[in-house]
Amino acid sequence: MTDDYTGYAPTLVALSLLVAVIASLVGFHLAARVRGSRGLARRLWWSGGSLVMGLGIWSTHFIGTRAISATADLSQDLWLTLTSLAFGVLTSALALAIVQTRWLSLCKLLIGGSVMGVGIAFLHYVGIGALRVEGTVSYDPMLFMLSIVIAVSGSMGALWLSFRLTPEKRRKVPLWQISLSALIMGVAIAGMFYTAVAAAQFPQQDVATEIGASASDRLAFTIAFMTIGIMLIVLILSIHDAHLSSGNARLAASLRKANYELKALVSRDPLTRLPNRLLLEDRLDALLTRGKPGAGNEFAVFFVNLDRFKTVNDSLGHHVGDELIQQVASRLQVAVRDSDMLARVGGDEFIIVSAENTGRAQSAKIAERIMSSLGKAFQIDNNLVRITTSIGISLYPSDGRDKHALMIHADAAMYFAKDAGRNNFKFFEPGMISATERRARLENRLRDAIENDALTLAYQPKVNVITGEIAGVEALLRWHDAGLGNVPPDEIIPIAEESGLILPIGEWVLKTACQQSMDWHAQGYPLLKMAVNLSAIQLNNKNFVSVVKRVLSETQLPPHCLELELTESAIMQNPDRASMILLRLRELGVMLSIDDFGTGYSNMAQLKRFPISCLKIDRSFTSGVNSDLQDAAIVKAVVALAHSLNLEVVAEGIETPEQLAFIRDIKGQQYQGYLCSKALSSDDFQAFLQSRYPVNA
Ligand code: C2E
Ligand code: CA
Ligand code: CA
């Protein structure tokens, strides 16, 4: 078998090709693993991968040399063989190290590919050197160069492919693409070996014996199967790990998403999807840390509160209240600028933090825009709901330099806006204290006021529209506190209701008013029908009917001379219970009327079930009868309706003769208002009576 080194054993050639293809496949997979893992896992994949790939490449070479009859039976130098294997491992380690990096630059491709190619060539030529050849091996220079070129370009191709095949941005590489690439790579590796073998010219050898040949075949097969076995195990491990980590990645992604949604949930108001207080405070913090107080850094905090929202909610139901809040939110969103932040911080409370560079003048403009936008009627189901708004504004840095000061001051200013008759806005001024602070102070003082008899009643006449005679009188609560000044009932009542003080106060009002009516009568004046305002809490108190009974018997006031005024919302809080209690009061002979009629949106059909005798049309309608067609139409309709239901009508808040003329024209029976008299102290009211019904005291 002289010179017959071109004879090949086809099974072994196929086997070496198979090993090369599998090694490529394993290489591509490992490249993805190494890139996709971190820390220790990455180092393990890298070193383990280098070993296995190196073994694969070396096996391709080893089986290749066994496939060639010229070299098939040569024994090998162990150390050089191991050195050749080491080159395979080092080259693989280099390849995997390169693919760990993020980008494959041209420079990296050229240098990395060259070093790898040379490494593979070394593997081969050291491997050949390990053969114990008798004499020297010479090389064909052209084929030698060609084998290096194939090794280098094959390595570059491998690098390039493994970057292309690594899943990037969740793109999954199809299996066929990987397999095809591995096939090409495998052919390239094997091709390089066979070219290099062809470059070697071996000296004449002894003829191989049958036994020797089959022994070398067996060795080649053993190495091939072991290598394939190891590579397949690593491949399976790699695929399994890829699966696991993509599962982990998916888990991490869904956790991230859940986290994000949770954050959105806790920082958003569920009804309006607006930011809540949490997010708003973040924004305030950001604004406050961004710039030092100075020109260009001023901004405003608006505290927006709807007037009478509770009435809408109580009388029309929560779904209408919710809808109203949603519509208000979207109108506010339009009214503010994109750069301002709007948040919902309570039931009917919103806070707006303006963008930087918003001074006083611009803040006033924003407030005006908000008020006019919310001033237009809201269409909700079949209801036309009208509300007004009170706004308090604090400015950074003049009204506060931290978020709490700014919010508390805006709140205090809002409270002053409400106090100034609602439906307006106020800038914070030093001396304004926050609503909560004032509330706490008021509640304390109110307890003292009850004990010290500091509460008084004022009396306002109800007048017959036609005759001008006094048809009755309404008792209104008054409180003058040395420190707080005159506290209006609109402010006292909510605090009294919340603190439970409304029950003793209400009973005191009832008793004082009934007693007063009897006292004036005792002095010779006509016995006047006395009207007393009731809170929903009193109405719902289980002792209320017996309290009324007791007061009537103690004061001796005839029941038909007591009139209880209730708002629609007080009745509608619990209509069944209210109708039962009102019936019992009616059985006592007490008169009942609906106060502030028109603001509570209750429907007439429902009102018919209550034993009432009078409707009081709210001041907000009567004040506009001469100027606003809609108000005039509403008042007219209410009067007509009252007539048809056989109810009396009292027009509240009549201030001008024209308003009175309007009421007279549409046949309203009574009115109340400054035109005749304000609410007067008991002495003043007695003087008023004296002027009308002179008695000789
Ligand atoms: P209300 O029952 O509707 O009382 C009428 C309010 O309008 C009174 O205010 C009265 O002074 C005012 N007023 C009367 N005529 C005119 C007018 O021509 N023009 C204007 N601009 N206002 C007029 P006040 O006394 O401040 O009472 C406010 C509310 O406080 C009352 O509204 C009533 O709901 C409540 N309130 C007063 N006293 C009591 C009470 O003893 N118990 C309960 N539960 N509520 C009370
Ligand atoms: Ca009243
Ligand atoms: Ca009223």
Query: pLDDT per residue over 343-353, tens digit each?
Result: 999 889 999 99
More confident residue, 144 or 667: 667
In whole angstroms, what is the distance from residue 277 CA to residue 270 CA?
A: 12
Q: What confidence tens digit (pLDDT) does each residue in 580-607 have?
A: 999 999 999 999 999 988 776 666 667 7
* 295 CB burial (10 A radius; 0-12, 13-18, 19+): exposed
| Mean per-residue pLDDT, 15-26 | 87
Q: Which residues pair with 379 in a beta bridge?
A: 384
In whole angstroms, what is the distance from residue 57 CA to residue 19 CA?
A: 8
In whole angstroms, what is the distance from residue 407 CA to residue 287 CA?
A: 14
- Both structure tokens of 115: 């070093």
Q: What is the pLDDT of residue 42?
A: 83
Q: What kind and span of H or E run contains 527?
A: none
Residue 83's CB: how many other CB atoms inside 10 A? 16
476 lines ligand 1 (CB under 6 A): yes
Average model confidence (pLDDT) across the chain:
86
Closest Cα to residue 387, out of 316, 474, 448? 316
pLDDT band at 549 (very low <50, low <70, confident <90, very high): very high
In whole angstroms, what is the distance from residue 372 CA to residue 367 CA?
A: 9
Q: What confidence tens digit (pLDDT) does each residue in 143-196 have?
A: 888 888 888 888 888 778 777 776 554 456 677 777 877 887 788 788 888 888
Q: What is the pLDDT of residue 535?
A: 95
672 lines ligand 1 (CB under 6 A): yes
Q: What is the pLDDT of residue 126?
A: 86
Give the ligand 1 atom nearest the CA of 534: 44
* 620 CB burial (10 A radius; 0-12, 13-18, 19+): middle
525, 682 contact by CB (below 8 A): no
| pTM greater than the 0.85 cutoff | no
Give the ligand 1 atom nearest the CA of 655: 18
In whole angstroms, what is the distance from residue 475 CA to residue 472 CA?
A: 10
Pocket test for ligand 1, best of 502, 507, 533 (most atoms within 8 A of CB): 533
Closest Cα to residue 221, out of 231, 229, 210, 211? 229
Range of weakest confidence among 136-145, 260-269, 478-487, 646-655: 260-269
DSSP annotation of 68 reads: B
- Residue 537 alpha carbon to ligand 2 centre in Å: 16
Instruction: Note the helical H segments in 467-567.
Output: 489-499, 502-522, 536-539, 544-555
Q: What is the pLDDT of residue 602?
A: 61
Range of weakest confidence among 563-572, 669-678, 684-693: 563-572
Q: What kind and span of H or E run contains 301?
A: strand 299-306
In whole angstroms, what is the distance from residue 387 CA to residue 371 CA?
A: 10
More confident residue, 648 or 97: 648
Side chain identity, residue 59: S
Q: What is the pLDDT of residue 601?
A: 62
**Nearest ligand to the CA atom of 536:** 1
More confident residue, 488 or 162: 488
Q: Residue 246 above 80 pLDDT?
A: no
Q: Residue 295 above 90 pLDDT?
A: no
Range of weakest confidence among 242-246, 293-297, 376-380: 293-297
More confident residue, 658 or 61: 658
More confident residue, 71 or 240: 240
Q: Which residues pair with 616 in a beta bridge?
A: 650
* 94 CB burial (10 A radius; 0-12, 13-18, 19+): middle
Q: Residue 528 above 90 pLDDT?
A: yes
Range of weakest confidence among 248-262, 279-293, 643-657, 673-687: 248-262
In whole angstroms, what is the distance from residue 451 CA to residue 439 CA?
A: 19
| Mean per-residue pLDDT, 406-414 | 92
Range of weakest confidence among 28-42, 579-593, 635-649, 664-678: 28-42
- Both structure tokens of 530: 């006395």
In whole angstroms, what is the distance from residue 620 CA to residue 629 CA?
A: 13
596 lines ligand 1 (CB under 6 A): yes
pLDDT band at 93 (very low <50, low <70, confident <90, very high): confident
In whole angstroms, what is the distance from residue 310 CA to residue 160 CA?
A: 71
Q: Residue 71 above 90 pLDDT?
A: no
Pocket test for ligand 1, best of 457, 476, 541 (most atoms within 8 A of CB): 476
Q: What is the pLDDT of residue 604?
A: 66
More confident residue, 535 or 215: 535
In whole angstroms, what is the distance from residue 74 CA to residue 538 CA?
A: 114
- Residue 594 alpha carbon to ligand 2 centre in Å: 8
Q: Residue 632 above 70 pLDDT?
A: yes
